[in-house]
Amino acid sequence: MRHPAIHIAPPRGRLGVMLVGLGAVSTTFVAGVYAIRKGLAQPYGSLTQMSTIRLGKRTEHRSPLIREFVPLACIEDLEFGAWDIYPEDAHRAAVQAGVLDAALLERLREDLEALRPWPAVFDPTLVTRIDGPNVKRGEGKRQLIEQLRSDMRGFIRARRLDRAVVIWCASTEAYREPGPAHASIAAFEKALDANDSSITPSMLYAYAAIMEGIPFANAAPNLGVDTPALAELAGERHVPVAGKDLKTGQTLLKTIIAPGLKSRMLGVRGWYSTNILGNRDGEVLDDPACFRTKEVSKKGVLDYLLQPDLYPALYGDLCHRVQINYYPPRGDNKEGWDNIDLFGWLGYPMQLKINFLCRDSILAAPLVLDLALFLDLAQRAGRSGIQEWLSFYFKSPMHAPGLYPEHDLSIQLKKLKNTLRHLRGEELVTHLGAEYYD
C-alpha cells in the first residue's frame, strides 16, 4: 500500500554530534569520519553510507542508495563535541584506546586534537573501576543538568550548528531496575529535586538533551533514556530517542543464527557464550555490578527470539550462559566463543561452535554514525519518542509498554527499510510476491 510522503525538513547547515564518553567507540567513530572525509578509508559497516533499498516490485530494478533515497545529513556536515571524565583530547584518547593504527591517527591529528572533552557528570559509585579529574561540580542534580544544557547550547552556538544529536558512548553504569522514580515525568522531576540516587548520570544527560529538543541515543546497556518517564518526556517534547546497547559482536551473531535455527524448528538445549576483552570497557565490566547490566542486556535476546512459551518442547529447557572475561593482552580485539547444543529430528543432538575474532569498536563505530544520521532524519520528519525502527542497532531495543522487543536482525532490517519507504511515500515491501504470478 502506498501512503503520501511525509514532509521532511531538508538537512540544511551542520549537524552537531555530542558524544558522552570519548573512549574507544567514540574516537573510532570520529576518527573514522575524518578518515572517510579525507578519502583515506571507506565507511564499511554503515547502512546510511553503503546500503541500498529496494523500491517497488522486483521487476522494477529500483534500488537507490539509502542516502540518496532519504535526505540525510552528509558526513561532511558533522561537527563533534564530547564529555569525558579524562581531559585528554580525541587524538590522545584514540591512541590510548589502541583501536586504530598510529599512522592513520597521525594523519588525523589536527582534527582529533581539536576535540577536547567538556567536564562530565560522573558518579564513581556507579562506575567503580575508573575515575578521572574532568568532572562537573554542582550543588545537586538540577544544577548538573543546567551545566549540561549550557554545554549543549554553547556548542551549537559556537559552531553555528543547525541541529544536534547526543549519543551516550560512556562506560556502562552499575545495574539498576527501573523504579518508582522512573515511572512518570512527575516522579522523575520530584526525584531530581530530592537528588535521589536512582537518577543516574546517563539519565541526566538524556533529560538535558530532551529538554533542549535534541535527539538522544544510548549505545550502552544502562537505563539512560529507557524509562517510562524519559520516553514520555521525549514524546511530549517531540524528541526522538533510541536505545539501548549497540548490537555488535556475539549478540549480533546470536540474532542472526537463533532465528535461523528456530525457522527450521531445531531445538536448542544450551547456548554457552564466553568472551575475552582487554579494553577499558572490559575493565569497567569486570565489576560485577556493571557486568550485571550487560548480562541482562545480552541474555534477554534469546528468550525473546526463541519464544520458549510458544515452543516449550524446543526451547523450554534452554540453558543460556554469558561471560565476559577482562583479559588486557587482547585490548579492543575481542574474541568470543559460542557453543550451541541443538537437536533435530527425533531429538538427535548436534553442536555448533562459533569463534568470532572481532574488533569491538570497529563494529560499533558505523552504528554510531547511522544512529546520529537516522535520529536527525527522524526529528526532521517530525517523529518523536521511542524510534522502534532503529531496533536493528540494539541488543535491548526500546519498545512501547506492553510490546515485546523485536530482536530478529532480518525483521529489524525490514522494519527499518519499511519505515524509510513509509517516510517517502513508497510502497511497503511485504515479500508476499503474489503479484508476479497473477
Site string for ligand NAD, 50-89 (x = CB under 6 A): ---------------------------------xxxx---
**Single residue of 34, 69, 80, 122 touching ligand NAD by CB under 6 A:** 122
Distance CA 260, CA 281 (A): 30
**Single residue of 89, 212, 226, 281 touching ligand NAD by CB under 6 A:** 281
For ligand NAD, the closer CB: 26 or 387:
26
Contacts of 23 (CB under 8 A, 6+ apart): 84, 93, 97, 169, 170, 171, 280, 281
Contacts of 126 (CB under 8 A, 6+ apart): 173, 174, 200, 201, 222, 289
**Single residue of 49, 227, 248, 419 touching ligand NAD by CB under 6 A:** 248
Q: How far apart are the first and last CA of the chain?
A: 17
Stretch of 32-40, 242-250, 378-386, 408-416 contacting ligand NAD, by CB under 6 A = 242-250
Please list every residue from 151 through 180 that binds ligand NAD, using CB under 6 A: 169-172
For ligand NAD, the closer CB: 84 or 426:
84
Q: How far is the CB of 324 from ligand NAD (least distance, A)?
A: 10
Contacts of 214 (CB under 8 A, 6+ apart): 18, 152, 164, 165, 166, 239
In this chain, which residue has its C-beta nearest to ligand NAD? 23
- Give the largest CA-CA distance in the chain: 70
Distance CA 143, CA 150 (A): 11
- 16-35 b/e (C-beta count within 10 Å ≥ 16 → b): bbbbbbbbbbbbbbbbbbbb
Q: Does 24 bind ligand NAD (CB under 6 A)?
A: yes
Distance CA 257, CA 274 (A): 16
Q: Does 219 bind ligand NAD (CB under 6 A)?
A: yes
Stretch of 187-195, 322-330, 336-344, 360-368 contacting ligand NAD, by CB under 6 A = 360-368
Q: Does 120 bind ligand NAD (CB under 6 A)?
A: yes
Which residue is listed with cell 517530525? 382
Distance CA 425, CA 244 (A): 29
Q: Does 21 bind ligand NAD (CB under 6 A)?
A: yes
Positions in the binding site for ligand NAD (CB under 6 A): 20-26, 83-86, 97, 120-122, 127, 130, 132, 169-172, 201, 219-220, 245-246, 248-249, 279-281, 284, 360-361, 363-364
